[in-house]
Amino acid sequence: MNQTIAQIQEIFGDSTAFSVSEENPGFPIIEVNAGRSTAQIALQGAQVLSWMPTDHPDVLYVSPKAKMEPGIAVRGGIPICWPWFNAHPDDPSKPNHGFVRNQFWNLESAEFEYNMATLVFTFAPTAETKELWPHDFELTATVKISDKLKVRLSTKNIGEEPFQITSALHTYLSVGDIERIQLEGVKGSHYIDQLLPAGSEEIYQEKNVIINQEIDRIYSSMSSLLLRDLDRSRAVFVDKAGSRSTVVWNPWKEKSKALADLPNNDYKEFVCIEACNAGRDRPTVRPNASHTLETTIGLRPLQ
């Protein structure tokens, strides 16, 4: 049973930092005013949809054609892809990017102090998810909103057997013009090009990344990244922890036309920079052990 609006409001108490609305019936969205920024988080998927530092346009992109309906993945913000990244390794009939982004999570707590809002969401297995993935786990998403945005995903194995996960904090970063950005941080690393046949040789990234075509790469890299947005005269940093791989994705023209929940020209307005565990990076979580994946994004002046 999903939490009701009243139950969510009870968690907020009399704090003016939090409110919740259901513009679309059955799809609660939490609004956060953390002083130096505002945010929106959907209860479905514990998915951050918006993060706006004061006096700045949204740092995240959400497709205007995204369906805000129960059970349908929302294109934009920071989808939590778990317990597998992309297609299921053995069964393509299972949902892309796992199942937790399409399920309602439970809001456990919401606190605001010293200009930082902290919200904690949990997700536990259901009969439906056990059909998809037969393991016992506790999943916790902690969202911290201040002059930065941090999302921490913690997986705890509460079963008897170890399990492997691949996962991603699939961040859609809003940009002024995709052809006027530079991405620093993966130069010198190798990547799997997901546009090539599976098993293709990894490729060496010689220079900083510019985007002038479809790009879908899994970089073997633990480094932070810096997105220089020349059009908006700002830079966005993406720090990460618990992540040995980084995905960079933009669908470009043709793929955008094939995505029903993305306007044809909106590929120009975002790039996905994803803290993840994907490709060869498949952490094993032993019984009673935990794995944490984290991303922190924020603004920097454009030097």
DSSP single-letter state for residue 104:
B
Q: Which of 172, 211, 178 has its CA nearest to residue 63? A: 172
Measured in Å, how far apart are the chain's first and last C-alpha atoms? 50
Report in angstroms how near the CB of residue 95 gets to ligand TA6 at its nearest: 8
- Regarding 86 and contact with ligand TA6 (CB under 6 A), the answer is yes
Instruction: Give the nearer residue to ligand TA6 in terms of CB position, either 35 or 263.
Output: 263
- Regarding 172 and contact with ligand TA6 (CB under 6 A), the answer is no
Report in angstroms how near the CB of residue 143 gets to ligand TA6 at its nearest: 20
3-state SS class at 149? strand
Report in angstroms how near the CB of residue 85 gets to ligand TA6 at its nearest: 7
Among 98, 142, 216, 221, binds ligand TA6 (CB under 6 A): 216
Instruction: Give the nearer residue to ligand TA6 in terms of CB position, either 216 or 229.
Output: 216
Query: Distances from the Cα of 252 to the Cαs of 59, 127, 256, 264, in angstroms?
Result: 20, 38, 6, 9
Report in angstroms how near the CB of residue 290 gets to ligand TA6 at its nearest: 24
- Regarding 211 and contact with ligand TA6 (CB under 6 A), the answer is no
- Please check whether residue 42 is in contact with residue 103, taking contact to mean a CB–CB distance below 8 angstroms: no
Site string for ligand TA6, 93-132 (x = CB under 6 A): ---xx-----------------------------------
Among 7, 19, 194, 290, binds ligand TA6 (CB under 6 A): 194
3-state SS class at 100? helix
3-state SS class at 254? helix
Q: Which of residues 237-276 bind ligand TA6 (CB under 6 A)?
A: 247, 249, 272, 274
Exposure string (b/e) for 266-295, b if CB count within 10 Å is 16 or more? bbbbbbbbbbbbbbebbbebeeeeebebbb
- Please check whether residue 249 is in contact with residue 272, taking contact to mean a CB–CB distance below 8 angstroms: yes
Instruction: Give the nearer residue to ligand TA6 in terms of CB position, either 38 or 167.
Output: 167
Report in angstroms how near the CB of residue 273 gets to ligand TA6 at its nearest: 10
Distance CA 35, CA 116 (A): 8
- Please check whether residue 296 is in contact with residue 273, taking contact to mean a CB–CB distance below 8 angstroms: no
Report in angstroms how near the CB of residue 7 gets to ligand TA6 at its nearest: 29
Distance CA 303, CA 43 (A): 37
Q: Which residues bind ligand TA6 (CB under 6 A)?
A: 73, 86, 96-97, 170, 194, 216, 247, 249, 272, 274
